[in-house]
Amino acid sequence: MQENERPRLQVRGISKQFPGVLANDRVSFSVAPGEIHALLGENGAGKSTLVKMIYGIMQPDEGEMFWNGQPLLVSNPKAARSRGIGMVFQHFSLFEALSVLENIALGMDGSLSMGELEKKVREVMQDYGLMLDPGRVVSSLSVGERQRIEIVRALLLKPELLIMDEPTSVLTPQEVTQLFETLRKLASEGCSILYISHKLHEIKELCDTATILRGGKVVGECNPAEETSKSMAEMMIGGSLKEISRGEDGALGDVLLKVNGLSLGRNHDFGTALADISFEVRRGEIFGVAGVAGNGQNELLEAMSGEMPAPREDAIILHGRPMGLLGPNQRRKAGLCCVPEERNGHAAIGDFSLSDNAVLTARHRKGLVKSGMVQGRAAEKYTREIISRFSVMATGPMAQAGSLSGGNLQKFIMGREILQVPEVLVVSQPTWGVDAGAAAFIHQALVDMAQAGSAIVVISQDLDELLALCETISVINEGKLSRAMPIKGVSVEELGLLMGGIHGTEETGERDRVENGAEKNGSGGIKEGKADAVQA
Amino acid sequence: MNIDITIAIIITMVGASTPLLLAALGELVVEKSGVLNLGIEGMMLTGAVVGFAVTFNTGNPWLGIGAAALAGVMVSMLFAVLTLSLASNQVATGLALTIFGTGFSALFGQAYTGKPIALFDSVFPETLTEDRFLRVFFDYSPLVYFSFLMTFLVWWFLQKTRAGLILRAVGENDHSAHSMGYSVTGVRYGAVAFGGAMAGIAGACFPLLLTPQWVEGLTGGRGWIALALVVFAAWRPGRLLAGAYLFGLIATMELYAKAAGGAFRILPSELWASLPYLATIVVLVLISLRRTKNSGAPACLGKPFMPNN
């Protein structure tokens, strides 16, 4: 990076107005050739809008862009690609039933024959260490492997600027390391990278420069290596970041949840069998389950919620009462509530109002149904309470669940369960795709709930989240749960190895996982409707 | 069973299978693009009556086939405008199409009841078509060879061409295909038109290949069997060919069970008639028993697509 070099991309005074919001307000920054430049900001800060304009999906209302010193006009993504701008989206647009090669071909202009394309794909994969069999069908791939398809697709166009939108949210630490190596190699060859993320330590590790956005404006530019994560987070949020506040490190109470040798067969081809899972959670404890997507997390949650009843009554014991054979409603009544990972379609029904969604899971514990009749007013009141206590941005109890942003819907769902004050709450991916502010709020709510005397199980792929929240952590891999470890004294490397499989080497772990047919978490896959879970 | 009867059965089977195969090939392409057109029976009847009328009036079966294909396309475009441009429900619209085709063919066909038409000349010389054994291969209408050619072409198009890949992509994930810049609605219009043409030709097979006169409702529900056949074949052209001949054989057995007696009376003809549906149910059960996520069904089958939501 030389100071006097012409910038690869220069953005000057870009503004974009949406109805009611100024999404970008005179944003300016520049990216040098070979520079890895971070765009840092909360959800809604305007990062996505900004890169969408650079990639030609949207047009700016005002301002100009320059590409290697020349004015840059991109009317559509195709024009952007022809200029050498590539983008890897957070949500992959892949075709599940088609092969890797077919997916890549669909993203190309079609001037190459399949044979030639395959040769080029193999070359790119070789050069950047992105190993993948072009003949594999996408539905059998892990999330990390799916991302590699998108990266290969972008690299085939020999980009001079690669935009990466939240690329690590679903990867294991080892996969992240691998991705960073690829990105560094690209940068060393002169490709500029625009890296969007809210994971501060990654930005510190990878990026040369960071532009921080808040409310559509650039609020700062910094060298991440010289900043602390805290200082960058404060710039991003525009105030001091509240650390999770805990009361006294009180001793944990009695055992509220005991899982005893829980085993379950695979429920479908892409599922994972649960093998002899045992753990205990005490009153006031937050118990974390780490692991890469598709290693049995969904099955574990379904086993806990009662969607998949356990084979034995005493496999799940809630405060001395066996729960193993009960269904979701009976478990909820008894005080075991669950929040699945998939917000829309599993935890909530998108086409229903918030109030109706509240009735679906809170009807027993909150008395929202009496002699078979829905108590509309009580439901509305409860919904209002959730909205105000959890600062859900919604027009009111009658707002359609599907109309809420991901973070707001998640706050609503968490609120709906937490305000029922269950003895045990099991949540999967509580902050997946949620902005930092909402995530901090949800984390605090979980900690408060534990301190008020509940036991909480958090299933998450985000190690940072687990390390910040939990007292105890264990790792799920291929349907087996590792021993529980106190959070103090556990290292990320150790957890990473457990996540990669007990065999130790990453390669074997990866292959085994693939053979297991990892079911993907929400990002790319089409989820089957699981609305019945809430209806049940 | 003597050899002549066997040969006769084979020849009847090939005839019975051909319209099934043609209509199902068309529907396979339609469904691969993510559209479920339940109106095959209606399009077939429209094709049948138009094909009959044109052949009767011109004396040229080739013109009849061309007109039948065109009529199929026109009726299918009615379906396409309603379901693709106006996003109406595909199931209801398809059923309406069948009801329309049934009525239209009955009305339009009244004038032709009992009148004979010219058939295709044989493609091969008499030495081949009249040979006691070789006629198993050569004594067929050009439509039969056309159906084989189309099976290969559909397979080749879907698996080997870029346009076929795009069509499959549209049926698999319409929103992704749209965001990549492919015209979902355009591709589906094309697929529905192809399905309409094939169903029209399949319908014209009844007067031009099977019974050279006009009878009301002459397709006898074969459009529904073609629909079942696509599912039976798990959306694969190769299996579709095998399935069409299996169902064609069953239909032939039904015919012989009705007409002849003796050996064919193993099962009553009504039971033979229901076998294709039973076989489809069995195949569906087998597919779901295998617990594979991928039955071959396109993920967006039957879902309306509107680019802006």
- Band (A170; pLDDT cuts 50, 70, 90): low
From A468's Cα to the closest Cα of chain B, the distance in A is 36
Q: Which residues of A touch B162 (CB under 8 A)?
A: 105, 110
From B292's Cα to the closest Cα of chain A, the distance in A is 6
Tell me whether B175 touches chain A (CB under 8 Å): yes
Q: Which residues of B touch A107 (CB under 8 A)?
A: 180
pLDDT at res. A504: 38
CA dist A528 and B10 (Å) reads 44
C-alpha distances out from residue A132 to A31, A108, A146, A516, B263, Å? 31, 18, 9, 17, 58
Q: Are A308 and A299 in contact (CB under 8 A)?
A: yes
CA dist A295 and A315 (Å) reads 20
Cβ neighbours of A226 (radius 10 Å): 8
At A65-75, the pLDDT tens digits run 999 999 998 88
Chosen for mutation from A74, A91, A106 (greatest number of chain B CBs closer than 10 Å) is A106
- Band (A536; pLDDT cuts 50, 70, 90): very low
Burial class (CB in 10 A: 0-12, 13-18, 19+), A223: exposed
B203: phi then psi, degrees, rounded to nearest 5: -65, -40
Q: Is the confidence at residue A307, as pLDDT, over 80?
A: yes
In a domain, B304, yes or no: no
CA dist B240 and A92 (Å) reads 33
Residue among B173, B291, B292 whose CB faces A95 most closely: B173
Residue among B172, B175, B180 whose CB faces A96 most closely: B172
From B299's Cα to the closest Cα of chain A, the distance in A is 8
From A470's Cα to the closest Cα of chain B, the distance in A is 36
B214: phi then psi, degrees, rounded to nearest 5: -90, 125
The count of CB pairs under 8 A between chains A and B is: 51
Q: Which residues of A touch B298 (CB under 8 A)?
A: 97
- Band (A526; pLDDT cuts 50, 70, 90): very low
Residue A175 DSSP SS3: helix
Mean pLDDT of chain A: 84
CA dist A156 and A163 (Å) reads 14
Residues in chain A: 536
Closest chain A CA to residue B169: A95
Query: A67-81, A200-214, A222-236 — which is least confidently predicted?
Result: A222-236
User: Are A77 and B298 an interchain contact pair (Cβ–Cβ within 8 Å)?
Assistant: no
- Band (A499; pLDDT cuts 50, 70, 90): confident
Provide CB contacts within 8 A for B235, sequence distance 6+.
B28, B31, B32, B296, B297, B298
User: From its phi and psi, is residue A485 left (phi > 0), alpha (psi between -120 and 50) or beta?
Assistant: beta
Residue whose C-alpha is closest to residue A451's, from A228, A151, A195, A249: A249
pLDDT at res. A328: 93
In a domain, B308, yes or no: no
At B178-206, the pLDDT tens digits run 878 889 999 999 999 999 999 999 999 99
Query: A264-273, A408-417, B211-220 — which is least confidently predicted?
Result: A264-273
A282: phi then psi, degrees, rounded to nearest 5: -100, 165
**Mean pLDDT, range A145-154, rounded to an integer:** 87
Q: Are A8 and A51 in contact (CB under 8 A)?
A: no
Q: Which residues of B touch A100 (CB under 8 A)?
A: none
From A95's Cα to the closest Cα of chain B, the distance in A is 6
Residue whose C-alpha is closest to residue A178's, from A147, A154, A141: A147
Q: Which residues of B touch A76 (CB under 8 A)?
A: 181
Closest chain B CA to residue A525: B173
Tell me whether A280 touches chain B (CB under 8 Å): no
Tell me whether A121 touches chain B (CB under 8 Å): no
**Whole-prediction pTM value?**
0.72
Closest chain B CA to residue A79: B181
User: Are B176 and A139 an interchain contact pair (Cβ–Cβ within 8 Å)?
Assistant: no
User: Are A94 and B299 an interchain contact pair (Cβ–Cβ within 8 Å)?
Assistant: no
Cβ neighbours of B296 (radius 10 Å): 16
Tell me whether B6 touches chain A (CB under 8 Å): no
Tell me whether B166 touches chain A (CB under 8 Å): yes
- Band (B70; pLDDT cuts 50, 70, 90): very high
CA dist B251 and A455 (Å) reads 65
From A193's Cα to the closest Cα of chain B, the distance in A is 22
Q: Enumerate helices (H) and strands (E) in chain B, giving the number of each.
A: 13, 0
CA dist A74 and A470 (Å) reads 47
User: Are A93 and B175 an interchain contact pair (Cβ–Cβ within 8 Å)?
Assistant: yes
Query: A386-390, B60-64, B251-255 — which is least confidently predicted?
Result: B251-255
Give the domain CATH number at B125.
Answer: 1.10.3470
Token representation of residue B152: 């290969």
Closest chain A CA to residue B162: A110
Residue A67 DSSP SS3: strand
Residue among B165, B179, B299 whose CB faces A105 most closely: B165
- Band (A507; pLDDT cuts 50, 70, 90): very low
| For the ranges A431-445, A481-495, B67-81, B253-267, the one whose mean pLDDT is highest | B67-81
Residue whose C-alpha is closest to residue B1's, from B248, B244, B253, B251: B253
User: Are A95 and B175 an interchain contact pair (Cβ–Cβ within 8 Å)?
Assistant: no
pLDDT at res. B109: 92
Give the single-character DSSP code of A523: T
Q: Is the confidence at residue A514, as pLDDT, over 50?
A: no
At B114-141, the pLDDT tens digits run 888 888 888 888 888 888 888 888 888 8
**Mean pLDDT, range A188-209, rounded to an integer:** 89
Hey, which residues 71-90 in chain A have their CB within 8 Å of chain B? 76-78
Q: Which residues of A179-198 are buried (b: 16+ CB within 10 A; e: fewer)?
A: bbebbeebbeeebbbbbbbb
pLDDT at res. A243: 64
pLDDT at res. A517: 37
**Domains in chain A, CATH or no CATH each:** 9-237 (3.40.50.300), 243-335+422-501 (3.40.50.300), 344-415 (no CATH)
In a domain, B201, yes or no: yes
Provide CB contacts within 8 A for B44, sequence distance 6+.
B19, B23, B72, B101, B199, B200, B202, B203, B206, B219, B222, B223
In a domain, B301, yes or no: no
Residue whose C-alpha is closest to residue B205's, from B24, B54, B44: B44
Alpha-carbon torsion, ordered A373, A377, A378, A382, to 10 deg: 130
Residue B174 DSSP SS3: helix
Q: Is the confidence at residue A516, as pLDDT, over 60?
A: no
CA dist B165 and B230 (Å) reads 19
For the complex shown, is ipTM > 0.90? no
Residues in chain B: 309
pLDDT at res. A239: 64
User: Are B166 and A106 an interchain contact pair (Cβ–Cβ within 8 Å)?
Assistant: yes
Cα A340–A246–A334 angle (5° rounding)?
A: 40
**Mean pLDDT, range B11-36, rounded to an integer:** 95
CA dist A494 and A475 (Å) reads 10
User: Are B181 and A76 an interchain contact pair (Cβ–Cβ within 8 Å)?
Assistant: yes
From A504's Cα to the closest Cα of chain B, the distance in A is 31
User: Are B173 and A526 an interchain contact pair (Cβ–Cβ within 8 Å)?
Assistant: yes
Q: Is the confidence at residue A529, as pLDDT, over 70?
A: no
Secondary structure (DSSP) of A7-27: PSEEEEEEEEEETTEEEEEEE
Q: Is the confidence at residue B22, as pLDDT, over 60?
A: yes
CA dist A238 and A214 (Å) reads 8
Residue A261 DSSP SS3: strand
In a domain, B41, yes or no: yes
From B151's Cα to the closest Cα of chain A, the distance in A is 21
Tell me whether B309 touches chain A (CB under 8 Å): no
pLDDT at res. A89: 82
Q: Is the confidence at residue A76, as pLDDT, over 60?
A: yes
Closest chain A CA to residue B178: A93
Q: Which residues of A touch B293 (CB under 8 A)?
A: 139, 268-270
Domain span holding position B142: 3-290
pLDDT at res. A520: 36
pLDDT at res. A532: 38
pLDDT at res. A515: 36
User: Are A94 and B173 an interchain contact pair (Cβ–Cβ within 8 Å)?
Assistant: yes
User: Are B165 and A269 an interchain contact pair (Cβ–Cβ within 8 Å)?
Assistant: no
From A31's Cα to the closest Cα of chain B, the distance in A is 26
In a domain, B59, yes or no: yes
Domain count, chain B: 1
Query: A117-121, A239-243, A410-414, A436-440 — which is least confidently predicted?
Result: A239-243
User: Are A93 and B294 an interchain contact pair (Cβ–Cβ within 8 Å)?
Assistant: no
B84: phi then psi, degrees, rounded to nearest 5: -90, -45
Closest chain A CA to residue B167: A106
Residue whose C-alpha is closest to residue A188's, from A36, A411, A392: A36
Which residue type occupies B230? V
Q: Which residues of B touch A102 (CB under 8 A)?
A: 165, 169
pLDDT at res. A64: 93
First to last CA, chain A: 59
pLDDT at res. A21: 72
Residue whose C-alpha is closest to residue A291's, from A76, A78, A497: A497
Q: Is the confidence at residue B57, as pLDDT, over 70?
A: yes
Q: Are A302 and A311 in contact (CB under 8 A)?
A: no
From A424's Cα to the closest Cα of chain B, the distance in A is 33
Strand order across the A9-18 sheet = A21-31, A9-18, A62-67, A70-71
Query: A121-125, A141-145, A389-393, A452-456 — which is least confidently predicted?
Result: A141-145
Q: Which residues of B touch A98 (CB under 8 A)?
A: 165, 168-169, 172
Residue B147 DSSP SS3: helix
From A67's Cα to the closest Cα of chain B, the distance in A is 24
In a domain, B211, yes or no: yes
Residue among A78, A107, A268 whose CB faces B293 most closely: A268
Residue among A102, A105, A270 whose CB faces B293 most closely: A270
